[in-house]
Structure 1
Amino acid sequence: MPSLPHSFQQQRPTLVTGFKRADAPSAALVELYNARAILAAPVTAYGKRLGVLLVYAPRAPVFASSDLELIQLLGDHVAMTLENRLLVDEAAQVRAREEATRLKEDFLSSAAHDLKTPLTGIVTQAQIMRRRAQRDPSAPPDPAGLERLLEQSQRLKSLVLELLDVSRLEHGSLIGERQQVELAALVRSVIQREAALWKRVKLRADSSVVAELDAPRFEQALINLVENALKYSQPPLPVIVEVWCDDGEARLSVRDEGIGIPAHDQPLVFERFHRARNVDDRRFAGMGLGLYIARGIIEQHGGRIWVESTPGVGSTFFVALPVLDAVAEPADTASEQVIQ
């Protein structure tokens, strides 16, 4: 059907009649509408050829020139609609690229700062120990200096592992073998292990809740949530961890009485590199990965995580997981553990 390509090539409306159905651009539509004529108009915006608008008619139009003018108007309207859509999509892509660039720059700045701090401590302490050894090779070791060196090395290691975890998370390979875990017992063991730094943490658990977890990874998510709560709340305000069963799910919450999260930041707090706008980077160090990793761990366990927060009042992070078993204990055996 040569006239239809001409409509696109010569950029003018075309009327085609007396064609064979098999030669039509869409034989099924010709059959469906019993078409005897096809009107074609180029779809072009600002000199950019976008396509051809086809109209199938059961008979040849009586006023062909008027109908061709009308279909050309329709073609022009379609072209403007498509061009506007393309402009909107391009603008959205530009904004997305700008936001990605901003996040990348913020991350690199934050990562460089966070990595530089322990590295500076390690280098400084190593230089001090070297000067002491040069002055007096027979001097006894400096336990305090070695402890500072180890502390900063561990901090640097944790930052590097956090970056590696982001890569594993995005490849879906962060969670390993799972086993049945009693949730309150797991939380209690982490509190005892971190007792030196978690002096404000309280555990409340009024039921025995068992879930199938990769225990080390779930502990990592719990530590991220609790340390986040400790960071953004001041002593002696408590951080409360609660464990319970509700609506067939294992539930865990971490509540603080800290600075809170502005409403417009709450949907974004679990995004990579995002930090709420009320966070002072000079007071609160971090790369904005802790909550992102925590969400990934929870979701790869088949669970969900969300936050409720009021600025100046505090935040509560909730975790819901598929539960294997939930047996309520008698009231007198309900537990609360406080690390003083």
Structure 2
Amino acid sequence: MTDFADFFVDQAAASSHVQFIYDVAADRVTFVNEAYEKVLHGRCEHVNEELPALLARLHPDDRAYLTQYCKLWLRGQVADEVEVRLQEPGQPDQWFCLTPHHQSANGRVCVGGTLRDISVAKRYQQNADNFNSRKNAALEILSHDLSGAFGVVQQVAQYLSEEVTVPANSRVGDMLRVLENTSRNSMKMIRDLVNIEFLASANTDLKRDRVEVAEVLRALLEELQEGQRILGQVFEYSLPTEPLYAYLDVNKITQVLTNLVSNAIKFTPDGKRVVVRVEACPGSVRLQVIDEGIGVPAALQPQLFERFTKARRPGLRGEQTNGLGLALCKTIVEWHGGNITVDSAEGIGSTFTVEIPQATAEATAH
């Protein structure tokens, strides 16, 4: 048994990640490996003296969260990893992932763990999330722009077919029918492309991280606002001024928001407003998409979130729907422990509200 204990001690000492043990009663770090010096630039023999300065580098938004997490950790009530940020003046935040351990024997409590530097992975993920957000927004803007243009062409072709007398032996009638069918098929192909992208995202595994909500949504909302400005639509948004954290799969939540905005634009006449509002509520994050559109008939509202719902309708500019979008939005929101509701009146508009729990240390407990 001693040989195995020595083996694990040697393994911890040689690890490239910071390994440590903290004796709660003695209020001291009793073991830290050499990775501490390489990763955190301290001295192993001075770790206890350096600990206050190290903790002072914690990101202000993480301090209260980590304090609550540590209370649960000392009681042996957490097993999930936690991510924290350390600050250094003039440098990007340094991200760490802590894998916690707890041991209690004979009235003595020790906590320990592995601290991994995940800064590179976090920056990569943030860049990927920003790219996906902008890509999703661009696809929606493009789909509405092109769908609107093809819709006009289709309507003109229909009008000419009905109103213009075509001379005998003329191919004009056939050409108008080709123009009408091509426009209709092009609109369908564009919407199918966007729907496939949404379905592909919804069917991937859920990967939630503790994120600052305004930070991860801002790029998407800016892109949507600029795109709607170009198209002549009125799109506004507001974000909380204070940091607001939630456990989110960023790509999936941005897909939900994009889908809700897309639906709002479909049923909102030109010149009317679509507004996104993000705010803190007691224990939750609230996202609202508010439009001044045609509204949803009361009889259809109970069916809106059903798969292949009978409540689906073409948009004001001929946009088609497969009846899956809102059902998938509901599924994704519920995966996050939240809920989605609608409040709508015909001729006045609709408000879709998503509420997701705020991030708390208790959410990581057993």
TM-score, normalization by structure 1: 0.45
Give the structure with higher Rg (CA).
Answer: 1
TM-score, normalization by structure 2: 0.42
